Structure 1
């Protein structure tokens, strides 16, 4: 395809890293994963990192950990505030742990949660917020964290789409009590599959480490705050304290991650050069609503919403893009309230979700990659210029 939604970013360094792991004979989680965890935490200025097998699993063990805190654990029936647009596995762990979701509309120009509506979403049952930075564009994370602190709420920052973005000089994925990342093929760095949890809270760090591997104590130090080690080493090696999972990563993924992390600054710089060209062609054109940058975007992709005031024909636009060999898709997961799965959820909506619905009905995104996309962006602009009179 002339303009792909996603593109590979590996070079000979990643292949060599894979070969080193294969030669070592150690494939399950070990020292290479631990080295990647340390490097990733250092890159973000955080104390603790826990690698898992996907960003979805990072969200799962983060939600789970909050149910097993010694003080003020989450409980079934508690409410959690969420944006109306995100990926499905932002929401699924919340439902699976019996939480009630409170949906808040997004800002049409940033596509992130409208923080001015947080007070409207708050109730005596509210215990947490999930903040999501959509497609590389930082949400109002500083405002959301202050609101969470003021009301005694936990903040989970789902940063799976926005690695290496910044807000006021601080990297996204560092504002929450727990912060999650994805290393899927199309994301800012890729380890094939993989994800990460970052936290500065030692108790949450130990809870997520235990939840990652069967709920056992094997990966925890003797002075862990989440259990007391006994004297029977035979038993302690396979002692289970939490109803955990097996969402461990592979050494292969840790090795690849170490190489990809070295390249991340260059990847982000290339994506931002493409963003500058995209803005030059589309910003200020009343036919299109594009993302207003908030902070410093790491620009996962380029979003376009066709201006509803011009009565656009999205089918005709999509037909023209397909004919021009340009890939496109729904913005993240669209408005989650529009999916069939919502019938399985306990939820309420804080006001309307008009903007999320507009993005769902008239929006799409095209890919951004860490190399020059001048020809692709120019073709996109020419095609849309013809298709949107």
Structure 2
């Protein structure tokens, strides 16, 4: 029995001490711990601003909402946003919730990110933005992607929830677009129970996001770029300037995040070491295909695409027998989900590669410690399967 989980706990006494620090402070709602975590997160990723939310999904929601509310960016309800057909649900649902039209394009079967050749051809006169997803730790080719966006006057937004710590040409994924979102859910590169973050260099977006994170009020803004707050503190306690939400994080999540951030270099080093080992070893199996590293992946997990669904089912049976946890590659081809009936959307092309990934793919987990011996055992199971 191999016993290989999808995700494992990254906490030690430091995180529990941080929780106790919050308990002893008697301040549990969003406060100084969140503010410090935002500052430290922005500094780590070499960004001007970071805005914390209660999840990566909420991070997507307030990022897209802020772009629509901003006078600086030409993104409005009814406009078209191009998305890859493979991602998590809340890449897409937030666009629907904000009144935007989705245009799905295929993925590249090497990187699993959006096919940039498809992107060039999919742009219409209604396209205003590209919501690029760095899938499973793998950054997009931002040289090409930014060139396409610049040539077509498109806003680039990044869903980087699965790719914390990935880099392209030495620059962190999540910092190429006007804003980039991150998740700190349990199974991700660092864990704060629940949590998300948005990075941006834009003063106005930062201020709008901080307002709409908390009901759309001015209370937490201070000096800002979007509204001239009055000196009357009583008035500004409940002064609402935007249609907002309540997606604030709590102090415990931020306190944990501050400790996790100190360990992130170590987490990434181990994940990348495991990832390189996985690619070197499993690429020797001719009957499967793997996600190719675009540049400097942070290896969320180890996806495998089999020759067909029969082979995948046989491998799943072996995994069940050996207590190896697995899951679909994100949500597969998302357009196959019933929820698509609610969206205003179009599809460019036949999504051939997304369907191959959907029908024949799965992934197993990566971890923040050395798993090479486990990968050897899984490799031996897989070799026996494909050779029989």
Q: Which residue of 1 aligns with 2:50?
A: 49
Query: Cα deviations across residues 101-138 of structure 1 (Å, max 9, x unaligned)?
Result: 11111111211111111121111111110011111011
Alignment of 1:314-333 (within 5 A): 314-333=312-331
2:344 matched to 1:346? Answer: yes
Q: Is the 8 A contact 2:122 2:348 kept in 1?
A: yes
Q: Is the 8 A contact 2:192 2:256 kept in 1?
A: yes
Q: Which residue of 2 aligns with 1:334?
A: 332
Answer with 3-12 or 368-377: which moved more: 368-377
Deviation at 1:141, TM superposition (A): 2.5
Q: Report the Cα distance in structure 1 between the residues aligned to 2:151 and 2:258, rounded to whole angstroms.
A: 37
Q: Which residue of 2 aligns with 1:110?
A: 111
Matched positions, count: 386
Alignment of 1:306-317 (within 5 A): 306-308=306-308, 312-317=310-315
Q: Is the 8 A contact 2:303 2:363 kept in 1?
A: yes
Task: Report SS of the residue matched to 2:181.
Answer: strand
Q: Report the Cα distance in structure 1 between the residues aligned to 2:329 and 2:315, rounded to whole angstroms.
A: 15
Q: Which residue of 1 aligns with 2:280?
A: 280
Could you list the structure 1 runs, at least 4 aligned residues long, displaced by more than 4 angstroms after superposition.
none
Q: Which residue of 2 aligns with 1:67?
A: 68
Q: Report the Cα distance in structure 2 between the residues aligned to 1:344 and 1:125, rounded to whole angstroms.
A: 20
Query: Cα deviations across residues 341-368 of structure 1 (Å, max 9, x unaligned)?
Result: 1111111112121111100100000000
Task: Report SS of the residue matched to 1:365.
Answer: strand
Q: Is the 8 A contact 2:51 2:209 kept in 1?
A: yes
Q: Is the 8 A contact 1:312 1:388 kept in 2?
A: no
Q: Which residue of 2 aligns with 1:295?
A: 295
Task: Report SS of the residue matched to 1:325.
Answer: coil
Q: Which residue of 2 aligns with 1:372?
A: 370
Q: Report the Cα distance in structure 1 between the residues aligned to 2:172 and 2:52, rounded to whole angstroms.
A: 18
Q: Which residue of 1 aligns with 2:270?
A: 270
2:237 matched to 1:233? Answer: no
C-alpha spacing 1:232/1:17, structure 2 compared with 1 (3 Å) = closer
C-alpha root-mean-square deviation of aligned residues, in Å?
A: 1.3
Q: Is the 8 A contact 1:329 1:365 kept in 2?
A: yes
Q: Report the Cα distance in structure 2 between the residues aligned to 1:315 and 1:307, rounded to whole angstroms.
A: 11
Deviation at 1:97, TM superposition (A): 1.3
Task: Report SS of the residue matched to 1:319.
Answer: helix
The runs of 5 or more residues in structure 1 that have no matched partner are none
Q: Which residue of 1 aligns with 2:258?
A: 258
Q: Report the Cα distance in structure 2 between the residues aligned to 1:296 and 1:274, rounded to whole angstroms.
A: 13
Deviation at 1:279, TM superposition (A): 1.8
Query: Cα deviations across residues 271-327 of structure 1 (Å, max 9, x unaligned)?
Result: 11111221232114211101111110110100100034xx84322221111111111
Deviation at 1:231, TM superposition (A): 4.8
Query: Cα deviations across residues 133-192 of structure 1 (Å, max 9, x unaligned)?
Result: 111011122322222222222111000000001100111110010110000000000000
Q: Is the 8 A contact 1:135 1:162 kept in 2?
A: yes
Q: Is the 8 A contact 2:139 2:297 kept in 1?
A: yes
Alignment of 1:1-389 (within 5 A): 2-222=3-223, 224-308=224-308, 312-389=310-387
Q: Report the Cα distance in structure 2 between the residues aligned to 1:316 and 1:236, rounded to whole angstroms.
A: 62
Q: Report the Cα distance in structure 2 between the residues aligned to 1:195 and 1:145, rounded to whole angstroms.
A: 25
Answer with 314-323 or 137-146: which moved more: 137-146
The runs of 5 or more residues in structure 2 that have no matched partner are none
Task: Report SS of the residue matched to 2:302.
Answer: strand
Task: Report SS of the residue matched to 1:327.
Answer: coil
C-alpha spacing 1:17/1:72, structure 2 compared with 1 (3 Å) = closer
Q: Report the Cα distance in structure 1 between the residues aligned to 2:306 and 2:73, rounded to whole angstroms.
A: 45
Answer with 179-188 or 139-148: which moved more: 139-148
Query: Cα deviations across residues 251-275 of structure 1 (Å, max 9, x unaligned)?
Result: 1111111110111111111111111
Answer with 38-47 or 1-10: which moved more: 1-10
Q: Is the 8 A contact 2:285 2:383 kept in 1?
A: no
Q: Is the 8 A contact 2:138 2:163 kept in 1?
A: yes
